[in-house]
Structure 1
Amino acid sequence: MSLQQTMVVPLPAFQQLLGVTADDVSWLVTATLLTSAVATPIVAKLADMFGKRLMMLVCIMLMTAGSIVAALGGDFATMVAGRSLQGFSSALIPVGISIMRDELPREKVSSAIALMSATLGIGGALGLPLGGILYQQAGWAAVFWLSAAVGVAILAAVLAVVSESDVMTRGRFDFLGAVMLSVILTALLLAISKGGTWGWGSERTILLFVLTVVGLALWIPYSLRVSQPLVDLRTSARRPVLLTNIASVLVGFALFANMLLSTQQLQLPVASGHGFGLDPVVAGLAMIPSGLAMVVFSPVSGAMINRYGGKATLIAGSAIMAAGYIGRVFVSDSVAAIIVGSTVVSVGSAVAYAAMPSLIMANVPITETASANGLNALLRAIGTSSSSAAVAAVLAGVTVTVGGVEYPALAAFQNVFWLAALGSLAACAVVWFVPRFQHEPAPEGVPADTAALAVTQAGNSAESVVHGKVLHSGGQPIAHAVVTVMKTSGEPVDWSRANNDGEFSLALPGPDEYLVVANADGWMPTSKVVRFTGTERDARIRLTQRLTVTGWVLRGGTALPGALIALSSHTGEYIASTRTNDAGSYELRLPPVGRYVVTVVEPDTQFTQSRKLVLTAESTVVNFDLVGASRETLL
């Protein structure tokens, strides 16, 4: 996938070859970016629903088909179409990470994720010189034929080696949500990637940003309302997931600046005063050490995750990136200094990129690992796109003229290094607030904040998915109930949030006794120790007792029927009302935790009495006796 992103970058000859403008030829990169952004969350969700191996095969076939189309087409439109299909390869990353979680023993998962993340660096670094060498030696079509050949080889290997995971959910795919999100992402990324060319104040750019905002304003409430959304915003809003995703945007921003600035600085003419005059192929070759460093440090990243946890590892990686960029601000006067600085940043990015999936998977249901990692990958892509736009804007805005030719000034490179360093430090600050996962006992050698991930990886080969429904005593489903499964020794296994129809899915590692806890807003939780034999596929969980505000209204010790009970928030909003029955009792559903005012109105005299309440997630009894009430309590 990373090869697809960079192989055409050092080929400006495409502009002359195809007879198009510099703006037009940039679509060879933009088309892949747009397809990647749109395809990643959709393919990842389909992988969770219908099979990870299946969607991996689909992505490889589309990528291979795109390579063949681009190689055979020979004209600009066909090449853009082929590059668009190549963008489907980006979905291989979150799907592949999810497959590794399903297939590998727990002690191998962190290192495997780290190695896969490292291939992003080596692939991106190799793509720069490889594209140029192929073009010079065998023509432009060889660039795409190589991608096609690799695609065919990987397709055969996946068919032969990778088995389909049993961890799949069932349900309906959110087609409308997918269309809405695709429009939003296309508008946003077009505005970011083309804003510098079209003008940030141009009508097209502004309209695209407006479309993005309007689309989000429609898509977010829709996704919260629909039964099975493409992106589960409730899970994504959980503090560990939300903060990790924010950090991913910042790390993606910082990482991409490294490759862009390094190659440009190496290719600038010596006459500029701070360039080295290397051709694109040689400049690309100079970036290979930084890509190799990511692979070399991948086992270190895995070991750090296992020993110190995903949170500490992500902070460490971001800090190393910041240190590398700050060093590049002051030392960039030789090719060696640029290579060393770029390598330090790459080491930090290898450590950080390895930690992100671990933090995500430790805090989402097992049956949603692909879609959750897909969203994380998408946000990293938004970060890299923003980085590209920021780099272009700064380099174009801070220039120096030498011999009548305008070049980016050294200060422009330093300014971007500072921006990338600030982005990395901001990622450290964000991740600092990711809560640590706590439970006892933790698996030996596994830190608290990754213990949940480690436990769920035990016995992956025997995992079975159990589907079920959460119902109330009347047999109706309870939307958004949360079902948690633990071993009887206390280790977490999995959790799931029910959809609007009360349906949930859980992945259990094998036959055993499990503690099942179900909870929903407004209901008393229920729990039970259940023996799972490995043959169960459907479960029914019933929540039978609502959480309520109840009480009696008396007058002189006698029940008062027909009295009005009104509940309002402490800020004045109406919440609910009811009347007492013949026995003088009343019942209201428990509202969310907070401060409230409950008021009673006597039916005959209209006398009133109010009382302040601080409600918790427990049923509450509030009794009234109107003896002594007077009209002085009336407004």
Structure 2
Amino acid sequence: MDGPQPTSRSGGVVATLALAGTVAAVMQTLVTPLIADLPQILHTTSSNATWVITVTLLSAAVCVPVAGRLGDLLGKRKMLLASCVPLLAGSVVCALTSSVGMMIVGRGLQGMGMGVVPLGISLLRDLLPPEKLSSSIALVSASMGIGGGLGLPIAAAVAEYASWRALFWGSAVLAALIAVMIWSFIPNVPAAAKGQRFDLAGALGLGVGLVCLLLAISKGGDWGWGSGSTLGLFAAAVVVLLVWGFWELRTRDPLIDLRTTARPRVLLTNAASVLIGVGMYAQMLIVPQLLQFPKATGYGLGQSMLAMGLWMAPAGLVMMVVSPFGGKLTNARGPKFTLVSGSLVIAAGYALSMALMGSTWGLLIVTVVISGGVGLAYGAMPALIMSAVPVSETAAANGFNTLMRSLGTSIGAAVIGVVLSQMTVTMGGFTFASEEGFRTGLLIGGGVALLAAAVAATIPGVARSAAAQDGEAENAVTAEPAAKA
């Protein structure tokens, strides 16, 4: 495999990959400000309109691990460019349509482009010199959170002052820009797993299992958690994923090497990733509602959609600033320390929310602290993963880790949604989530963050390798993989 490219190209590589991840994440939150207007825009029911959001989650969950594995087999640059195609096509479809069916198709295509995040992270290992690797991985990994944080205020501003179609034309332009930058700045790297076959059966099995699981989680609140549809999907997910696991353990070139993911260092990192996803999303669901609820409730702050987005925008910027610092912390103390620290910072943010949730400035402080913790944690996860998997599996392993984060956000949305729907208050004939409901949701976020810190603290150190340049086993992002258990 080619060594790292000249340092003079590092800036363009990192900027391109970080922007690609941010743009893909922005498309996840693009329609959030339009949720209330979608039934009118698309001439459909509220129930049908929710599929515009759900389908993006489902397609991303299915395509991210597949894109990662294809990156290992065919070349990561090639798959990065391929991932830009559905991003661009989906944006154009959404911009041109007024029907719910085509909007769902377009949003599904946009979700397929989320593979750029794990592909970008794994490419950094191939292209950058060791001294720049940790901070660059941290920035590109955090682009998922950065995009989510910045996408909401930008989309709110565009939706309020321009046509909703401008959101999708803008995302189409960004997708085209990313493709041009990848073509210009990302050099070709030989495929790490060239010659191995693609596990089509494994991809189909994982896709079906994930769709059943995530559909049950995301729609359970609407359908009823005890309904036949929800329980049937959960049961189907268990059966399909068990069969999939049986297949993956026995096929020669699996989509995801479950023996590798079962290594304690990888397994515990992925478990912590799910918990961090829950912790991150709790405040993203609660704070916008607190900001926008009417002041007459006694706890709402009466902000407009645009004002709400602006109050939350600094959180995304803080994540961008904190991520490189997290890389330096990883170099100094190791990725495990950074992940534990990030989890504890998230928990501290939720603790602050108990005293500060009554003001806009207080909520700004809360979101900034939590986002700073997310930036630290997100940057540490790929470093832990890549120090424990073979080079030929880096993209697939990072794709699976990205999937775990997304699974965490889905679980967080479901759990907080149940809490807020059950703890309500009625005023003037309208039913709202109560102040106690919001407090309970925030406490859940903080508790899950503490649990993530506890799980991360049990992650074992990586085996010392001759390839570790600085003699620190914990800082082994560029080291050879640890010996098989």
Same fold judged by TM-score > 0.5?
yes
The equivalent position to 1:265 in structure 2, one of 286, 290, 304, is 290
Structure 1 SS opposite 2:431: strand
Q: Please give the alpha-carbon distance, in whole angstroms, between the structure 1 residues aligned to 2:266 and 2:464.
A: 19
CA distance in 2 between counterparts of 1:380 and 1:400 reads 32
Tell me, in whole angstroms, the C-alpha distance in 2 between the residues paired with 1:8 and 1:415: 27
Residue 380 of structure 2 corresponds to which residue in structure 1? 355
CA distance in 2, matches of 1:158, 1:496: 34
- 1:9 and 2:32 matched: yes
Indicate the SS of the match to 1:10. Answer: helix
1:439 Cα deviation (Å)?
3.0
Q: Measure the CA separation in 2 of the matches of 1:435 and 1:167.
A: 30
Aligned 8 A contact 1:112 1:302 in 2 = yes
Q: Deviations over 1:446-475 (max 9, x none)?
A: 642223x23x4xxxxxxxxxxxxxxxxxxx
Structure 2 residue aligned with 1:163: 187
- Which residue of structure 2 aligns with residue 303 of structure 1? 328
For 2:175 and 2:464, the matched residues in 1 are separated by 44
> How far has the Cα of 1:414 moved from its partner?
1.0
CA distance in 2, matches of 1:141, 1:147: 10
Q: Which residue of structure 1 aligns with residue 268 of structure 2?
A: 243
Contact 1:325 1:420 in 2 (8 A): yes
Alpha-carbon separation, structure 1, partners of 2:242 and 2:218: 22
CA distance in 2, matches of 1:140, 1:33: 21
Q: Please state if 1:33 is matched with 2:57.
A: yes
**C-alpha contact 2:74 2:191 (8 A) present in aligned 1:** no
* 1:119 and 2:143 matched: yes
Letter in 2 for 1:338: L
Asked whether the equivalents of residues 193 and 389 of structure 1 are also in contact (C-alpha less than 8 Å), the reply is: yes
Distance 2:324 2:406 in 1: 24
Q: Deviations over 1:215-251 (max 9, x none)?
A: 1221111111111111100000001000000000000
| Distance in 2 separating the partners of 1:233 and 1:310 | 22
The residue number in structure 2 matching 1:97 is 121
Pick one of 178, 201, 206 that aligns with 2:231. 206
Greater C-alpha radius of gyration? 1
Partner AA of 2:214 in structure 1 = L
Q: Which residue of 1 aligns with 2:446?
A: 421
* One-letter code aligned to 1:211: A
Partner secondary structure for residue 255 of structure 2:
coil
Other-structure match for 2:97: 73
Q: After superposition, what is the alpha-carbon deviation per residue over 1:392-437, rounded to whole angstroms, capped at 9, x for unaligned?
A: 1111110112222211111111111111111111111111111112
> Equivalent of 2:312, from 265, 287, 298?
287
Q: Does 1:328 align with 2:345?
A: no
Partner of 1:436: 461
Contact map agreement 1:307 1:446 (CA 8 A) in 2: no
Give the Cα–Cα distance (whole angstroms) in 2 for the partners of residues 400 and 383 of structure 1. 28
Matching of residues 311-390 of structure 1 within 5 Å? 311-390=336-415
Question: Any idea what the Cα deviations from partners look like across 1:542-599, whole Å, max 9, x if unmatched?
Answer: xxxxxxxxxxxxxxxxxxxxxxxxxxxxxxxxxxxxxxxxxxxxxxxxxxxxxxxxxx
- Could you tell me how far 1:125 is from its partner in structure 2? 2.0
Check 1:71–1:450 CA distance in 2 against 1; reply closer, same or farther (3 A cut). same
Distance 1:377 1:208 in 2: 23
Is the deviation greater in 61-70 or in 135-144? 135-144
Distance 1:404 1:447 in 2: 63
Name the stretch that deviates more: 150-159 or 438-447.
Answer: 438-447
User: How far off its partner does 1:444 sit?
Assistant: 6.6
Contact 2:87-2:112 within 8 A present in 1 as well: yes
Q: 1:443 deviation in Å?
A: 5.2
Which residue number corresponds to residue 140 of structure 1? Answer: 164
Q: Does 1:195 align with 2:248?
A: no
Counterpart Cα distance in 2 of 1:234 and 1:438: 17
C-alpha distance in 2 between matches for 1:217 and 1:18: 39
Shift of 1:34: 0.3
Measure, in 1, the Cα distance between the counterparts of 2:471 and 2:448.
29
Distance, in Å, in 1 between the alignment partners of 2:41 and 2:281 is 28
Which residue is equivalent to 2:211?
186
The equivalent position to 1:86 in structure 2, one of 94, 101, 110, is: 110
Distance 1:446 1:406, change over 3 A: farther
Report Cα offsets for 1:93-125 as digits up to 9, x if no partner. Answer: 100001111100011111111112333333212
Q: Would you identify which runs of 4 or more consecutive aligned residues in structure 1 move more than 6 Å?
A: none
Amino acid at match of 2:177: A
Letter in 1 for 2:329: M
Please give the TM-score of this superposition, normalised by the length of structure 2. 0.92
The separation in 2 between residues aligned to 1:16 and 1:37, in whole angstroms, is 28
Distance change >3 Å, CA 46–CA 438, structure 1 → 2 = closer
Q: Using a 3 Å threshold, how does the CA distance of structure 1 residues 103 and 23 change in structure 2: closer, same or farther?
A: same
Matched-pair contact (CA < 8 Å) for 1:63–1:86? yes
Q: Does 1:220 align with 2:221?
A: no
Rounded Cα–Cα distance in structure 1 between residues aligned with 2:431 and 2:162: 34
**SS class of match (1:168):** coil
- In structure 1, what is the equivalent of residue 16 of structure 2? none
2:3: which partner in 1?
Answer: none
Higher-helix-fraction structure: 2
Conserved 8 A contact 1:306-1:445: no
SS at match of 2:237: helix
Cα distance change on mapping 1:21 and 1:94 into 2, 3 Å? same
Is the Cα–Cα contact under 8 Å of residues 307 and 447 in structure 1 kept in the other structure?
Answer: no
Contact 2:41 2:98 (C-alpha < 8 Å) held by counterparts: no
Per the alignment, do residues 414 and 225 of structure 1 end up closer, same or farther by CA in structure 2, a change over 3 Å counting? same
Question: 5+ residue gaps in structure 1?
Answer: 457-492, 498-520, 522-635
Q: Write the letter of the residue equivalent to 2:281.
A: F
Letter in 2 for 1:64: L
> In structure 2, do the counterparts of structure 1 residues 442 and 162 end up closer, same or farther at CA, with 3 Å as the change threshold?
closer
The amino acid across from 1:8 in the alignment is V
CA separation in 1, counterparts of 2:351 and 2:469? 38
The code of the aligned residue for 1:30 comes to: T
- 2:130 corresponds to which residue? 106
> Which of 151, 157, 162 does residue 175 from structure 2 map onto?
151
| Whole-angstrom CA distance in 2 between matches of 1:411 and 1:60 | 43
Contact 1:53 1:163 in 2 (8 A): yes
Q: Distance in 2 between matches of 1:432 and 1:248?
A: 13
Q: How has the CA–CA distance of structure 1 residues 274 and 447 changed in structure 2, closer, same or farther, with 3 Å as cutoff?
A: farther
Segments of structure 2 that go 5 or more residues without pairing to the other structure are 1-23
CA distance in 1, matches of 2:326, 2:158: 33
Change (3 A) 1:442 1:306: farther
Contact 1:317–1:351 (Cα < 8 Å) also in 2: yes
Distance (whole Å) between structure 2 residues aligned to residue 446 and residue 306 of structure 1: 12
1:399 to 2:424 alignment: yes
Conserved 8 A contact 1:126-1:285: no
* CA deviation profile, 1:142-187 (whole Å, cap 9, x unmatched): 1110010011111111111111212421211111111111000000
More displaced stretch, 345-354 vs 258-267: 258-267
Q: Which has the higher contact order (CA 8 A, sep 6+)?
A: 2
Residue 433 (structure 2) pairs with residue 408 (structure 1): yes
